[in-house]
């Protein structure tokens, strides 16, 4: 299955879970399988029915076409398929406000990175990350916006690769930030307080280099 070269989508585009399942199944790379795990779509990806329904939907929306009896992904679906099947890092960002949790999944590949948000009826809204903005900077902006909208809000970040992950707890405190990590040999969360925006950005960058094997 050959596709065009991936291009960034300019704004958010919504995809149904059957469409995402098809994009994952059509590639069937280890990275696609990991993306399915992170998006909690493994069962849907492995279904004999749902991916076909997803392909039909993509064709109907103009996000896929048939060339020589073969389905080719195009338009906004192309960078989504590319990133999900070639990702090198997945970061789940849980944005917490009282008892409400919103989620952003940051999927990073070279050269395409995406931000995905789940919405009603298992739909996913997909935003293309500005290729000129490094991953930690994009995630810092998400945390800053969350706290601007919800001053008492907190967040949990979970960076993942196959077989390893790391966690970072984040909250605003006064004019700075507090981060918490779970370190080997410690029963409680180890906190660092009074971090500046730059120091929080560094903590986010460190998160992706301190992945520990999942036990």
Mean pLDDT by 10 residues, the chain (215 residues): 41 93 93 96 94 95 91 92 96 93 95 93 92 94 95 94 92 94 75 95 93 77
pLDDT of residue 185: 59
C-alpha distance from residue 159 to each of 80, 118, 181, 205, 209 (Å): 19, 18, 12, 10, 9
Tokens at residue 56, please? Answer: 């039909």
pLDDT of residue 99: 83
The answer, as to whether pTM is greater than 0.75, is yes
Strand boundaries in the chain, DSSP class E: 13-15, 64-67, 70-73, 89-97, 100-108, 113-119, 123-128, 154-161, 164-173, 176-181, 190-195, 212-213
pLDDT of residue 210: 85
pLDDT of residue 40: 94
Residue position matching structure tokens 């993942």 = 160
């Amino acid at each position: 299955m050959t596709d065009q070269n991936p291009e960034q989508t300019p704004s958010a585009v919504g995809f149904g879970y059957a469409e995402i399942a098809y994009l994952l199944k059509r590639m069937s790379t280890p990275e696609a399988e990991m993306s399915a795990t992170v998006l909690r779509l493994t069962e849907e990806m492995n279904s004999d029915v749902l991916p076909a329904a997803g392909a039909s939907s993509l064709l109907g929306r103009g996000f896929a076409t048939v060339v020589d009896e073969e389905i080719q992904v195009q338009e906004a679906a192309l960078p989504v398929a590319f990133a999900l099947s070639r990702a090198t890092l997945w970061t789940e960002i849980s944005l917490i406000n009282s008892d409400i949790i919103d989620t952003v999944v940051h999927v990073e590949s070279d050269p395409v990175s995406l931000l995905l948000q789940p919405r009603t009826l298992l739909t996913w809204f997909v935003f293309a990350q500005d290729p000129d903005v490094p991953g930690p900077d994009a995630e810092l902006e998400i945390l800053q916006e969350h706290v601007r909208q919800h001053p008492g809000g907190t967040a949990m970040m979970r960076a993942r690769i196959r077989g390893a992950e790391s966690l970072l707890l984040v909250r605003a405190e006064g004019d700075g930030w507090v981060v918490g990590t779970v370190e080997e040999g410690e029963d409680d969360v180890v906190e660092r307080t009074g971090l500046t925006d730059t120091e929080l950005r560094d903590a986010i960058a460190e998160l992706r280099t301190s992945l520990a094997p999942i036990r």
